[in-house]
Amino acid sequence: MNTEAKVGAFVLVCAGILLATVYRVSSAQIRGARTPYRTYLRYAGGLEPGADVLFGGIKVGQVTAVRPDPQDPTRIEILLDVRQGTPVNAKSVAKLGSVTVITNPVISISMGSNDAARLPANSEITSLETISLDDTERKIVALADSAQTLLEAVHTDVNEVTGDARTLIANLNEVTGKSNQQHISELLTNADAMVTRISPKIDRISDQIVTLTDNANGVIAKIGPAVDNVNATVSEANDTIASARDPLQTDLAEMRKTLEQARGLIVNLQAAVRAKDQNIADTIENLRMATENLNDLTESVKERPWSLIRIRQPEDRKVPKK
């Protein structure tokens, strides 16, 4: 082997050693720049190692392992490698997601809270379960069944409501027919005529009641001072008789009692006069109602004289055929 061949072989060996050293150093730096975490889900949704890990929508690492939890086989253990310095905290939540509909599933970690403590390496990130497509499909089927039942019930109710509405419209048409309208118009006309006839009588009775009330008030006003004078006279007579003779005091006491009874009688008389105002008003109201009933009876007899001897209206006489 000549010298040039030896130099070329030496250069190739040095280059290979250099490349291997650079590869090992870069791999060691990359591994040292990652922080491992873990989380647990009950539905992985096709997640595989190498899937992206997103923090607030930013790619910060990869999934390193997806396997059943050795301690709890009903859930899936997911191991993550997250870029060192990523602020994963105690309020962060990991869940299964995807960037778009057609992309592979990823692990999405929420940003949590700035006040929460940062999670150390190999800590568990709180997870949030995602509804699977099968569960969504079952819920949609159950919702469709419920909707079908609801539509059938609504259809039945609508038919019943429609029938009731038709019955109501038929009743309204019957009530508002031409014969009923004419009957109501006649009743209103009779009522107006009756009020017109009775109004002057009511006015006169009201004037008489007012006059009677004024006279009663005048009488009461006149009796009041007389009673006061009698009381003053009795008091003076009591003093005079008491100073003159003792036997007269008993008689004056009895007279005073009699005057007190007279005062009570006068008060009762005033109350009776006041109460009689209401009785007079009630009497007038009764007279008005009796007059209205009598007028109604008179009009009914004028319009339907056959009702005095027959319960039903006689049928119309048929026109004789020629």
Domain parsing of the chain, residue ranges? 32-134, 146-176, 190-306
Length of the chain as a residue count? 322
How high is the pLDDT of residue 284? Answer: 77
How high is the pLDDT of residue 28? Answer: 46
Q: Are the C-beta atoms of residues 270 and 213 closer than 8 Å to each other?
A: no
Helix, strand or coil for residue 269? helix
Gap between the Cα atoms of 221 and 235, Å rounded: 22
How high is the pLDDT of residue 314? Answer: 57
Gap between the Cα atoms of 229 and 231, Å rounded: 5
How high is the pLDDT of residue 176? Answer: 67
pLDDT by 10-residue block (mean), the chain, 322 residues: 70 80 58 82 88 91 92 91 91 87 85 90 89 69 77 74 78 70 77 79 80 78 69 70 66 80 76 68 78 77 64 60 57
